[in-house]
Amino acid sequence: MPVLARVPAPVLLSALLAALLARPSLVPNTPGRPGSLLETFLPWLGLAVPLLLALALRRRSAAIALALLLPTAAWLGQFGGHLAHPTAPTTARPALTTVQHNISDENPDPSRTAKALAAARPSLIAVEELTPTAITAFTATLAADYPHHATHGTVGLWSTYPLTDVRPVDIKPPALAGDPHWNRGLRATAATPGGPVAVYVVHLPSLRLGASGFGSARRDESAVLLGAALAAEPADRVVLLGDLNGTADDRGLAPVRTALAATAASATRTTTAPGFAFTWPAAFPLARIDQILARSGTVTRVRTLPSTPSDHLPLSADIRFD
């Protein structure tokens, strides 16, 4: 009899669970993108541990209980830092406080949404799925406290600091090259008290989960273009805010992570916002597909804000630059 045949199934399942948690790259991104699908919801694999523990207690099996140490250690190795991250503000003032939100192009009250985002008192507010009506509402509502703003297509940036070098960022996937209305990227330089910061606001293509699997091809193509733009960015201090339609661990966003990790001059540290802070769907958040990423900076606090008339929750992060 083969050795594996004598191993209890729950023990084998525990080993498999540990392997997937520790090395999700073991699942290839074949057609249907199963690897990206796994990485999007990877933290939720931890729910299998208490289920297997209940089975071990029911069977009074020490072997199963011991085997569960493997996925428990793997989960804590991947996500334990998120649990330990403080949610209270730090005593030192952060260099930059930011808010990122996909407000939904069906938002019935963009003025109220703008007020809700401003209530967090960020220095930068990045918004996606803007309509002409929403742009007017945001500009009027935020005029007093955020006199500097820039928009391009359906993305926008409102700032307490002056904005210069404003220009569009081409992240249009090839299949949409002929669509003049698909404009979802902009770049600006914010003149912060600590020095200039290059700010990118983007909205990558949506994902589709169906019978054919995880439809992320256009998102991945757009991520390659965004990665190229970030790699060419000469500024050392960079903040990326946007609806990336993917978690920070999704391999489809690897070009973005790689580009943020280095400048033309030298290698620097890339910091992703710690903590879970799931933003989508707003009714029952399962994943953080909205991102605030920084180059040459440390994210000291991250949290979601109260819901708005959108299917995303707003995301706020404080960033301290080196």
What is the rounded CA–CA span in Å between residue 33 and residue 27? 9
Which sign, positive or negative, has the C-alpha torsion 115, 117, 120, 126? negative
Q: What are the backbone angles phi and psi of residue 165, rounded to the nearest 5°?
A: 50, 40
Local confidence band at 279 (pLDDT 50, 70, 90 cut-offs): very high
- Asked which of 30, 54, 84 is the last residue of a domain, the reply is 84
Asked if residue 39 and residue 148 are part of one domain, the reply reads: no
Asked if residue 261 and residue 126 are part of one domain, the reply reads: yes
pLDDT digits (tens, 9 = 90+) for 222-274: 999 999 999 999 999 999 999 999 998 899 999 999 999 854 333 333 444 45
Asked if residue 76 and residue 157 are part of one domain, the reply reads: no
Query: Region 189-207: what's the mean pLDDT?
Result: 96
- With a cut of 90, say whether residue 212 has pLDDT above it: no
pLDDT digits (tens, 9 = 90+) for 107-165: 999 999 999 999 999 999 999 999 999 999 999 999 999 999 999 999 999 999 999 99
Asked if residue 101 and residue 79 are part of one domain, the reply reads: no
- With a cut of 50, say whether residue 276 has pLDDT above it: yes
- With a cut of 80, say whether residue 275 has pLDDT above it: no
Q: Is residue 258 situated within a structural domain?
A: yes
Q: Is residue 191 situated within a structural domain?
A: yes
Query: How high is the pLDDT of residue 301?
Result: 85
How much is the pTM? 0.90
Contact at 8 Å (CB) between 291 and 240?
yes
Local confidence band at 62 (pLDDT 50, 70, 90 cut-offs): confident
- Asked which of 84, 114, 141 is the last residue of a domain, the reply is 84
The SS3 call for residue 54 is helix
CATH number of residue 272's parent domain:
3.60.10.10
What is the rounded CA–CA span in Å between residue 86 and residue 197? 26
Mean model confidence pLDDT for the chain: 90
Structural domains of the chain, count: 2
Q: Is the peptide bond before 31 cis (omega within 30 degrees of 0)?
A: no
- With a cut of 50, say whether residue 182 has pLDDT above it: yes
Question: What Cα–Cα distance (Å) separates residue 49 from each residue in 18, 40, 207, 231?
Answer: 10, 19, 29, 40
Q: Is residue 91 situated within a structural domain?
A: no
Query: Region 66-74: what's the mean pLDDT?
Result: 93
Q: Chain centroid to CA 92: how far? A: 25
